[in-house]
Amino acid sequence: MTVAVIKTKAEQQLAEQFGAMATRLPGTGWVAAARNTAFGAFAARGLPSRRVEEWKYTDLRTLMKEAYAPATAAPVDAAAIAAALGPDFSKLDCVRLVFVNGEFSEPLSTFDAGRGTTYHIDSLADVLASGGTDWMKPLLAAAAQNGGAIDALNAALMTGGVTMRIEEGAEVAKVIHLVFYSASKSAASTAVRNMISVGARAKATILESHVHACGEPIQASAVTEIHIKDGAAVTHVKRVAHGPGGQHLGKWNVELGRDAHYRGFQFTADTTLARNEISVTYAGEGSKLDLSGVFLGRGSDHIDTTLVVDHAVPGCESRELFAGVLDGRARGIFQGKIIVQPNAQKSDGKMMARALMLSPDTEFDSKPELEIFADDVVCGHGSTAAQLDEDQLFYCMSRGIPEDEARALLVESFIGEAIAKVEHGGVQQVLAETARTWLKAGAGHGNTARGKG
């Protein structure tokens, strides 16, 4: 007997939206065919529920009540972008590419002399409209077949984003800051995709900011494909702050060549629902990975970090450290899996997730996993959840520090180790300041200050 699965309101709306806009989305020919395949794959699976193991803590069929209509073009000035980024991020000395509701804005963007020499940047919408490139074909095909719900839906609906190529041996002096800004007079959605290739022995720092104007809620879909060639070194930072009612479904797909070094960091706060997926595959021996992140939730925020690190070749190293602070009725999820393939001898992997729970009504679900099919490896994982140490709090207060300030200092110390992994001094500083701002916003309201829900 076949049981028909009833489509949710959101699934029906997504199907209607794709049907209405498919012919207007950037790209024809194979691009349009890839979109159709991707949406077909999504429609066959539907929004994931807790019956899907990777989504057991984030039942999207329940949490996503409806699918907002795609955002349309909106007039935005530099002051609005700066206000959404906040003073610390807006003052960062960088190359800045601004996307408004997924559409690239040349007037709001700033470049340096490196564009066209050490690095090449194009709007993804323009590249797709001109027929795309051959290297995109297998990536979009993989998104539909093996990428899961976020990847497939994004591949079908993407309207913008960036293609970036960093030249072999180049050292990009400034941070490349991709700013994805959403602004709409009503609840709306955006879908962006970034495709980045870093040449052999190149060095770069890439920052993604996903922010939006105060007002109506946003549903944001964001996928970044980044291929790091032999001997290259990349720092990659992502910040998500979509405000009350904001929903973010994001994914990184990372491939590392031989002797490559990738340092990734994700910072999520002020977002009602966030699911950040990270998929890393080693394609060459001797590579190093350092993944870290901080998630800050209060009220009824729901923040999910899910990652898979695939040691597919011998002699590679991976480190993962994620720290969260939860207050009110917030819920944090960490699902991390390290896979060591049969021929990946001499693999070295360590994973840790920890949460600081400031209210008795918070929840932290952690599921670290190891799948090891080789015998000459060094791997381990751990997870902790705790409240503030009252002895440490008493010590600070006995030195004349007010209670609210003492609590904030202890919380800042708790997440400091993860933030310190961002080696770029300027980016590390703005992340620390952003965390302090979040902590100050909760002080004096009975949650962070008193540990009550």
Instruction: For 236-270, give the DSSP string.
Output: EEEEEE-EEEEEEEEEEEEEE-TT-EEEEEEEEES
Taking CB atoms within 8 Å and a gap of at least 24, the contacts of 185-188 are 185/215, 185/216, 186/69, 186/216, 187/68, 187/69, 187/216, 187/217, 187/218, 187/219, 187/245, 188/68, 188/69, 188/70, 188/71, 188/72, 188/101, 188/216, 188/218, 188/219
Concatenating the DSSP letter of every residue in 287-302 gives -EEEEEEEEEE-TT-E
pLDDT of residue 453: 33
Instruction: Report CA 21 to chain centroid distance, whole Å.
Output: 26
Concatenating the DSSP letter of every residue in 35-71 gives HHHHHHHHHHH-S--TTSGGGTT--HHHH----PPBP
Is the residue at 320 inside a domain?
A: yes
Is the distance from CB of 181 to CB of 215 less than 8 angstroms?
no
pTM: predicted TM-score of the whole model, two decimal places: 0.93
Is the residue at 452 inside a domain?
A: no
pLDDT of residue 5: 62
Is the residue at 453 inside a domain?
A: no
358-375 as b/e, with b when 16 or more CB fall inside 10 Å?
bbebbbbbbbbeeebebe
Print the domain residue range for 179: 9-442
Closest listed residue to residue 416, CA positions, set 338, 342, 354? 354
Is the residue at 449 inside a domain?
A: no
Is the residue at 348 inside a domain?
A: yes
Which residues in the chain show pLDDT less than 50?
Answer: 1-3, 444-453
Is the residue at 78 inside a domain?
A: yes
- Host H or E run for residue 85: helix 78-85
Is the distance from CB of 103 to CB of 50 less than 8 angstroms?
no
Count of domains observed in the chain: 1
Is the distance from CB of 100 to CB of 72 less than 8 angstroms?
no
pLDDT of residue 389: 82
CB count in 10 Å sphere of residue 159: 23
Is the residue at 83 inside a domain?
A: yes
Taking CB atoms within 8 Å and a gap of at least 24, the contacts of 115-118 are 117/167, 118/166, 118/167, 118/170, 118/171, 118/172
pLDDT of residue 252: 97
Is the residue at 1 inside a domain?
A: no
Instruction: Report CA 52 to chain centroid distance, whole Å.
Output: 21
